[in-house]
Amino acid sequence: MAMNHGRWYFYGTDSRTRKLTAFAFARASVMKVSNQKFNAEPDQHPRDLLRHSFGSVLSTDPAVDVVLEFESKVVQRVRESVWHPQQTLQDLPGGRLRLTLPLNSTLEIAPWILSWGPYAKVIEPAELRDSIADTTRRMAATYATGEGN
């Protein structure tokens, strides 16, 4: 079990996929006790698989540097938290800040980046930058129509 960003998760083998999986307690509706024991493979222990995670996603993919730049307006807030144990911070001209995170999945970080609005910019990887740009274009189109719900 682990708490991440205020949410509890438990890790175990999914009976359907036979893969180590993160399960959120809040989404679990039925649990039953069994006699089966959790035996992690040496290279499949949740602690190791979470080393390059932004949240609770388990991955054996190699880590890539996610590089973000923040505008001066939010730099103090970015500095107030440790977002990842292996993060690096670099001051930039104009009071801006560069945050680098070694991650093996961008699934959980994309909504977090979007939460910073126009004050955060993805520098690398290109695929994440393109995905965030596409999402923001679609969001702008949603609001540009001026139609109500």
Per residue in 49-107, pLDDT tens? Answer: 665 665 666 667 788 899 999 999 999 999 998 888 889 999 999 999 999 999 888 88
Q: Do 45 and 73 lie in a common domain?
A: no
Q: Do 72 and 45 lie in a common domain?
A: no
pLDDT score recorded for residue 4: 65
CA–centroid distance for 56 within its chain = 8
pLDDT score recorded for residue 67: 98
pLDDT score recorded for residue 63: 83
Domain assignment present for residue 54? The answer is: no
- Report which secondary-structure segment, H or E, holds 66: strand 64-70
Domain assignment present for residue 149? The answer is: no
Tell me the backbone φ, ψ of residue 146, rounded to 5 degrees: 70, 5
Q: Do 43 and 68 lie in a common domain?
A: no
pLDDT score recorded for residue 76: 97
Asked if residues 87 and 101 have their Cβ atoms less than 8 Å apart, the reply is yes
Q: Tell me what the mean pLDDT of segment 116-140 comes to.
A: 96
Asked if residues 46 and 3 have their Cβ atoms less than 8 Å apart, the reply is no
Q: Do 117 and 72 lie in a common domain?
A: yes
Q: Do 73 and 133 lie in a common domain?
A: yes
Average pLDDT of the chain is: 82
Please say if the pLDDT value at position 10 is more than 90: no
Q: Do 40 and 68 lie in a common domain?
A: no
% of the chain beyond a pLDDT of 70: 74
Q: Do 72 and 116 lie in a common domain?
A: yes
Domain assignment present for residue 56? The answer is: no
Query: 29 or 138, which is more confident?
Result: 138
Per residue in 39-59, pLDDT tens? Answer: 655 556 666 666 566 566 666
- Which residue range(s) make up the domain with 17? 2-49
Please count the structural domains in the chain: 2
